[in-house]
Amino acid sequence: MKGGYTGRVLVVELDSGEISARDYPPAYAEDHLGGFGANNRLFQEFSRPGTDPLSPDNPVILGAGPFVGTAVPGASRVMANARLPLTGAVASASGSMGLGANLKWAGWDHLVIRGAAPSPTMLVIEDDKVELVPAPGLWGKGILETTRSLWEGYPGFSVLAIGPAGENLAHSSLAMIDACATLGRGGLAAVLGSKNLKAVLVKGNGGVRIADPEGLRKLLRGLFDRLEKYDMRQAAAELGMIGAWPMYAAQLLPYGATEEELQGVTERFGPTAYLRLKKRRISCPSCFLADKDELLLPSTGETVYSTSFLNAAIIGCALGMRDAEEAASTLALLDDLGLDFMTLSWQAAYLLELREHGILRGEEAEGIPLERGAGILRELALRVTERRGDIGDALANGWKGALSLFGEDTRRYTMLVRGQDCLYDPRVSGLGTMEFEQIVSPRGPTSASAGSATYVPGLPEERLRRLTERMGVGKEALERIFSPPWGLNVGRLTRYSEDWFSLFSSLGICNRFQVNRFYHAGLIRDLLAAVTGMELSVEEMMRRAAASWELYRELNAAEGLGPEEDRPPEAWFSEKPLWGRGGRLHDYFGNPLTREDVTLLLRSYYEERES
């Protein structure tokens, strides 16, 4: 391996305290490119099917691909593999900020964490110096306080930390990197909590070897020239994700909302509301577009971090919060506790559905306010974190716990796939690849296919075809994708969207729309050659990315989570509002879809995966 890879894997045994280095098998890089793909291969090596997610035998594997730690724009992704408690699936999660780059600069491609420490512990890595440090004083503290405290004691380190929700093994918990990047929706923090691992700190003082430095500089100059000409650059730099507010707003509004309601939501949660809270934008290493925020809450003078103000707008719209500050402070509470805002928001909406249908009365809610607003989410967050009361304890065990407490019949008031709540409602946004991939993703609903052109609504077929071709999709596959009877077969396209995500995650590139749009398969092939010295055709590069996704599916099939679990939720086939959203299921172009159509699209997806 000429460049891009350090050639080393760090293995930490928490129970015995043994720390060892092993060679990074060249085949893992060559066959799976690194990052996501190599993580899957390492998980296959270090894990056994059927292991309890909260058992010491469930390993956590962190990995950063060959582009991470270099100057390749947006190459800051760190991947985490573990069996997660919310669904029992082997999940690959992605995060950002400084952890991946520092891991590479410290001389490690991957970190394997096994066993469980006897007491609260943190793992501290600085180059070849690796130690397990007692952390009893941090146990019970929120993520923001923990991270700031560790930055004081360990300046220059990137910090992955869990909060009280992870310590108490809540299935909806997640970890945070540098207090503003999430990692591990579905309970990664609970897995770390079961290991008594409060934090992982990494600082690297080295660099990443480049096979062809001059070739890389030339490619990067071209990328930055394109960025200079990007017509949305100023809005993206100033506003981040909320800069695309018109695209998101229609999907956030309640079913049947009026133009007047749209205007009201825009005033409360749109760009102007964001600017009133904005203190500064935060960028990941090498990223040319800062997408995270430090916000100032005027009523308290407190500053908080956020993965994106858009997330605050999402919960604010969903639960009818008063204003942007209330939404941002509520999101900050969830982040500090280490809870996934999506799952917790949908659990709050679920309780409201139960109240509306007479299944849960106010006096039975154990003090949880059954009305829209910030109150229900804030109270539920505390109860789930502390496992307080029957409702708090049940919902801390995820949707299985909720259905066990309130009855399997209440599944009708959910939108679940593989035991995890959907992120996108195709009755509102249309059945694009992000929406469809929720059915077939091995770990349950994620945004893994966001790199597809269907992320942007309203594009004509000709442009969709051109943008799909940039993902390395061949001519024959393009003809199968853009074919009757729908004009766009989203099942077939999703296969290539997953492969595209696999490529980005294996190399370490952020898959967010604002970064993704500047890349195409030919450019990535050239960057791969310049960074690593690996000379591949586009076809061979995409074949290896596809093989990594297939391995991901195989890992879950070994857990009994194969294609038989790929079932759309019943709510998709009803126009009745659920969680404030509703309408008729339709495709990207707005044409209605039936249950039979979705079955045919699923069949197309499997056919394309086997082609």
| pLDDT, tens digit (0-9, with 9 covering 90-100), for 451-492 | 688 988 889 999 999 999 999 999 999 999 999 999 999 999
- pLDDT, tens only, 114-169: 999 999 999 999 999 999 999 999 999 999 999 999 999 999 999 999 999 999 99
pLDDT confidence bin for 289, thresholds 50/70/90:
confident
45 within some domain: yes
Q: How many CA atoms lie within 13 A of 272 on its CB side?
A: 6
Task: Check if the beta carbon of residue 103 is closer than 8 Å to that of residue 6.
Answer: no
pLDDT of residue 7: 96
pLDDT of residue 324: 97
- Check which CATH number belongs to the domain holding 384 and give it: 1.10.569.10
The residue written with tokens 């891009």 in the block is 4
Both 427 and 358 in one domain: the answer is no
pLDDT of residue 119: 98
25 within some domain: yes
Both 531 and 588 in one domain: the answer is yes
Furthest-apart CA pair in the chain: how many Å? 69
Last residue of a domain, one of 404, 433, 454: 404
Last residue of a domain, one of 186, 203, 220: 203
Both 42 and 188 in one domain: the answer is yes
Question: Taking the alpha carbons of 455, 31, 480, 435 in that order, is the dihedral positive or negative?
Answer: negative
151 within some domain: yes
Last residue of a domain, one of 337, 372, 404: 404
DSSP alpha helix (H) spans, 441-510: 461-469, 475-481, 490-507
- The DSSP bridge pattern shows strands 158-161 and 175-177 to be antiparallel
pLDDT of residue 598: 98
227 within some domain: no
> Quick one: how far is CA 305 from the chain centroid?
17
Average pLDDT over residues 363-379: 96
In Å, what is the CA distance from 282 to each residue of 64, 144, 273, 290?
21, 16, 18, 5
pLDDT of residue 103: 98
**HEC profile for 326-384?**
HHHHHHHHHHHHCECHHHHHHHHHHHHHHHHCCCCCHHHCCCCCCCCCHHHHHHHHHHH
Both 484 and 380 in one domain: the answer is no
Name the 3-class secondary structure at 193: helix
Average pLDDT over residues 521-525: 97
Both 375 and 440 in one domain: the answer is no
Report the first-to-last Cα separation within the chain, whole angstroms: 31
Task: Check if the beta carbon of residue 447 is closer than 8 Å to that of residue 396.
Answer: no
Both 464 and 557 in one domain: the answer is yes
Both 161 and 279 in one domain: the answer is no
pLDDT confidence bin for 230, thresholds 50/70/90:
confident
- pLDDT, tens only, 191-200: 999 999 999 9
Boundaries of domain holding 467: 422-610
Structurally, the chain folds into a number of domains equal to: 3
Q: What DSSP line would sit under 113-134, residue for residue?
A: EES--SS-EEEEEETTEEEEEE
Distance CA 131, CA 142 (A): 23
- Check which CATH number belongs to the domain holding 470 and give it: 1.10.599.10
pLDDT confidence bin for 357, thresholds 50/70/90:
very high
pLDDT of residue 448: 66
Average pLDDT over residues 51-59: 98
412 within some domain: no
210 within some domain: no
Joined tokens for residue 398: 């995820």
Both 431 and 512 in one domain: the answer is yes
214 within some domain: no
What 8-state DSSP symbol labels residue 281? E
Both 158 and 253 in one domain: the answer is no
- pLDDT, tens only, 403-437: 999 999 999 999 999 999 999 999 998 999 999 99
Task: Check if the beta carbon of residue 507 is closer than 8 Å to that of residue 528.
Answer: yes
Both 166 and 306 in one domain: the answer is no
Both 563 and 475 in one domain: the answer is yes
Average pLDDT over residues 379-384: 98
- pLDDT, tens only, 295-326: 999 999 999 999 899 999 999 999 999 999 99
Task: Check if the beta carbon of residue 22 is closer than 8 Å to that of residue 9.
Answer: yes
Task: Check if the beta carbon of residue 501 is closer than 8 Å to that of residue 511.
Answer: yes
Cα dihedral angle (300, 302, 307, 311), rounded to 10 degrees? 0
Both 23 and 85 in one domain: the answer is yes
572 within some domain: yes
